[in-house]
Amino acid sequence: MLSLNVTNETSRLRAVVLGTAVSNGDVPSIEEAYDPKSIEHIKAGTYPDEADMIKEMEAVNNVFSKYDVKVFRPKIIENYNQIFARDIAFVIDNKFIKANILPDREQELDALQHVIDQINPTDIVKPPDAVHIEGGDVMLWNDYIFIGTYKGEDYPDHITARTNLEGVQFIKALFPNKIVKEFDLAKSKTEARDNALHLDCCFQPVGKDKGIIYKDGFRAESDYMYLVDLFGADNLFYITRDEMYNMNSNVFSIDEHIVISEEKFVRLNTWLRSKDFIVEEVPYAEISKQEGLLRCSTMPLVRD
């Protein structure tokens, strides 16, 4: 059996689900795309090639192997996008919480049944249908659970709005001893530079007390200032609009000192190293064209 344990983003990683780009399917039509960045690349003819994405994901798999992390992969579904493992489920403490994802993506969870079978059934949680929540919006920081949401009245019209206020209330009820703080995120169906698809598109903790943040990813300045005050202004790396577009906040921590980051994030990687982090650089620019990066394609199961 798997003894699930995840209480933050940066404790030593022992077991993780890494998505797969094998048999990713044809380039989707514009109507089939879920986010403005994918649409941008479909229109431009620059949508990522499957072979390139497989190479990128194997580079991450190799880093996990280097650090003796147990890696689970989804069962391959023919012609189906299974890259973003974080969307479909996530772990808080010892609970495996299934996301109520877009209906087109329900097969992705079925492809992880061999992992789910190793989890104590009493630790598996399926929210009611009215609850929308995806793992990219759920960020753990010890006693805190940060949740990205969208509070606009046009929530039902935004395919880029993935976590609703019912999702926030569900997590509050499930973890009454945690401080659950929601953040109202900026959404755009047409401009990827103004769309925080999930919370990890505009914020993520690294190390013990540091973080990466993009101010304009938050609709309310008070939400942004909450994190600045909590972490301390000097402990945050402030990314630009273009860096947010390229997903600089979407790195992934193996422990408090080791971060997997995209090789082109020169400014961020330089800052991380100046703070004594080991930065494991990988190519991930092709996968980022689908508005997801390292955190999106990984689902931690066990951390120390």
- What digits encode the pLDDT tens for the residues 43-97? 998 999 999 999 999 999 999 999 999 999 999 999 999 999 999 999 999 999 9
**What pTM value is reported for the model?**
0.94
Which string of b and e fits 281-303 if b means at least 16 CB within 10 Å? bbebbbbbbbbbbbbbbbbbbbb
Q: Which alpha helices (H) appear in 111-164, and where do they start and end?
A: 113-116
Instruction: Answer with the residue of higher pLDDT: 223 or 152.
Output: 223
CA distance 223 to 244: 17
**Average pLDDT, stretch 116-137?**
95
pLDDT category, 171, cuts 50, 70, 90? very high
Tokens 């100046």 label which residue? 274
Instruction: Answer with the residue of higher pLDDT: 106 or 266.
Output: 266
**Average pLDDT, stretch 110-117?**
96
What is the model's pLDDT at position 193? 83
CA distance 162 to 47: 23
